[in-house]
Structure 1
Amino acid sequence: MNTSTARIGHSRVSTSDQNPAAQVAALEAAGCTMIRTETGSGTSLENRPELGIILDFIHPGEMLVVTRIDRLARSMKDLQVIVAKLRERGANIAATEQPVDTSTAAGKAFFDMLGVFAEFETNLRRERQAEGIVAARRRGACRGRPPTIDMDEIRARLAEGQSPTRIAREMGISRGTVYKAKGKTGEHGKAAQGPLEVREDPAPQAS
């Protein structure tokens, strides 16, 4: 990287819980006289105010410096837009952790190659996320919704004098669920006026 030109640093983190301190330190060590930091996704040039300020006010002969190309953008299209704007202003791009320097032919070639890989990585991550969502939906469809228990029906059957055993058998639930409904009936229903007497069905006679 050419260290004889004025350098403006740009650091970016994707979320507010990430710390750009390491990037800032590397840019300062590279001799950047000004560093603009922002938080946001690198998958689009929208909502990138700090980068926009640099592109609008960088002077001819100056260098925009980042730690890595993916801190600047994650698509080849966006990288080409940035390079075009810098060229219009007579400026270049360099990276502290990669052999990128668009003021040289070799550095420009490596920059283009890194842009392709950054875009590939982003697209691959999106595909994996989409596949994960589809798989999760399929698992949910296979499992189906959990069965709901009509507690009101249980209480109504209890009020009619049906036994917990019969209710559990006919509704396909556990007797514990029936007793739970019975307890709530005693707290909130008519049975709160007195104990709810529920008879058990007599055991079947052995033949």
Structure 2
Amino acid sequence: MATIGYARVSSTGQSLEVQVDQLRAAGCTKIFEEKISGTSQQGRAQLALALDYVRDGDDFLVTRLDRLARSMTDLRDIVDRLIAKNVEFRAIQQGAIDTSSSGGRLMLNMLAAVAEFEGDLRRERQSEGIAKAKAEGRYRGRPKSIDPEEVRRLLASGMGPTAVAQQLGVGRASVYRVTASKAA
């Protein structure tokens, strides 16, 4: 019997260190880590590897439910796969969640439903705020990071793409995209 951990953050700028430390302290002998959104199971290679790796009698740990899944459907799917393999699931910061007991399974479903509800409310509030800002003329979306005319002017003056990129504070690929769009 092994204790396997899974740690996830949504973006490459975030650190997995705190989760990994907590999983090690909880006795995990192997930890799968990834930096990717938890809104879907798609593209989560380390999660897929972890689910393939666990065996009958193992424990599968995460620090919190939202590290494993953001939707109740995905969470139930993942936990059902673990249970089918006779693997116990625990969220160590949410101690009542332990699939080895009926009470733990009940808490899993209740907390998953509440978490999904909170996410839905947050998205609704954000949409309402954007709609209000658009109606008031205050929302214009993300500003363009580069002015194509400025790029073309600098290139026409004899500057190379690298120098143009440095002067404008953008990546060289952005300069090349402008030149490619001009040709199209």
2:41 to 38, 45, 49: 45
Q: Please say if 1:113 is aligned against 2:115.
A: no
State the match for 2:149 in structure 1: none
Residue 37 of structure 1 deviates from its aligned partner by: 0.7
> What are the Cα deviations for residues 18-42 of structure 1, in whole angstroms up to 9, with x where unaligned?
1110000000000000001111111
Aligned partners of 1:128, 1:75: CA distance in 2, in Å?
18
Residue 60 of structure 1 deviates from its aligned partner by: 0.6
> What are the Cα deviations for residues 99-140 of structure 1, in whole angstroms up to 9, with x where unaligned?
211011121111111111111121111111211211121011
TM-score (norm 1): 0.64
State the match for 1:72 in structure 2: 68
Greater gyration radius: 1
> What are the Cα deviations for residues 164-205 of structure 1, in whole angstroms up to 9, with x where unaligned?
xxxxxxxxxxxxxxxxxxxxxxxxxxxxxxxxxxxxxxxxxx
Aligned residue identity for 1:92: E
State the match for 2:120 in structure 1: 123
Task: Report runs of 4+ in structure 1 exceeding 3 Å deviation.
Answer: none
Residue 98 of structure 1 deviates from its aligned partner by: 0.8
> What are the Cα deviations for residues 36-90 of structure 1, in whole angstroms up to 9, with x where unaligned?
1111111111111111111122101111100011111111101110012112211
Aligned residue identity for 1:140: G
Q: Output aligned runs, 1:57-206, within 5 Å.
A: 57-99=53-95, 100-140=97-137
Aligned partners of 1:42, 1:94: CA distance in 2, in Å?
18
Aligned partners of 2:16, 2:92: CA distance in 1, in Å?
15
Aligned residue identity for 2:26: A
State the match for 1:200 in structure 2: none
Secondary structure at 1:140 match in 2: coil
State the match for 2:6 in structure 1: 10
Residue 6 of structure 1 deviates from its aligned partner by: 1.7
Secondary structure at 2:31 match in 1: strand
TM-score (norm 2): 0.71
Secondary structure at 1:109 match in 2: helix
Aligned residue identity for 2:82: L
State the match for 1:148 in structure 2: none
Secondary structure at 2:56 match in 1: coil
Aligned partners of 1:57, 1:23: CA distance in 2, in Å?
20
Aligned residue identity for 1:35: I
Aligned partners of 2:93, 2:53: CA distance in 1, in Å?
25
The alignment's C-alpha RMSD in Å is 1.6
